Amino acid sequence: MSNPHDDLRIAFRYAAKPQMNSSIGDKNRYDLGKPLDDSEFSSQRLKYDGAYSYESLYRFIANLCRSDRHSKTRGPTKNLLRIVIGHLGSPFWTDSAEFSTFLVRLRPLLRNAHVVVFATAASETMYEQLSDELFATADLYLQLVAISEEEQKKLSSLDKYHGYLRILRLPRLTSVGTHNPPADLVFTQKRNSFDVSILHLPPALGDEPQNAKAPCNVDF
């Protein structure tokens, strides 16, 4: 049972601390439940109807990247194209052996075009080699990890979150070093939004013992 005197001392210590806003992007929120008129985007949407093959998909993307509309060196006008690929590395692909070749060929192709590719993959169920290759070739790598029930039981502050958002790699094309966010990020999936917040650990439950030994200094 905790000592009431210790509880008051802890409360007094953090009373003067400013309230921290854990949410990110409050000013720019997108309502996922708001219906969109498909007619506004039908003329700008391209659909891939080819085989579930890496080689076939690469040829489709290559034709788009080399077209006058999206190539950096051809055509009078430049238009940005966003391509979304789902389930990379899954067993649904008919030529799974071409996964590595597809990634290696895709990277330089995108460098010479106004094209951005967003891809999703279940890295936890992929072969470790394929997961490592995907990480090595990606400019931006984000990972969503669900919070287990054991973690929620050990740390009550995780009850309102669904998982961790880990930024494992950021683009570094035009910089010597990249910015690495120091904060631990968590997400909450709601009906109309996907909210990302900063995870703040609870304060310490007591002071350090007065007779605790000071750490020794070590030079490397």
Nearest residue to 137 via CA among 114, 171, 112: 171
Nearest residue to 65 via CA among 55, 53, 78, 50: 78
Residue with the bigger pLDDT between 202 and 192: it is: 192
Residue 87 backbone class (left: φ over 0; alpha: ψ -120 to 50; beta: rest): left
How is residue 109 written in tokens?
């192709």
Residue with the bigger pLDDT between 140 and 2: it is: 140
Confidence band for 37, pLDDT divided at 50, 70 and 90? confident
Residue 203 contacts by C-beta under 8 Å, 6 or more apart in sequence?
Answer: 10, 13, 14
* Position 127, amino acid: Y
Nearest residue to 179 via CA among 190, 187, 188, 171: 171
Residue with the bigger pLDDT between 156 and 219: it is: 156
Residue 133's pLDDT is what? 92
Confirm whether pTM is higher than 0.75. no
Domain ranges of the chain: 42-139, 141-171+180-200
Residue with the bigger pLDDT between 166 and 21: it is: 166
Separation of alpha carbons 69 and 120, rounded Å: 26
Integer CA distances (angstroms), 193 to 29, 79, 182, 187, in order:
8, 29, 24, 10
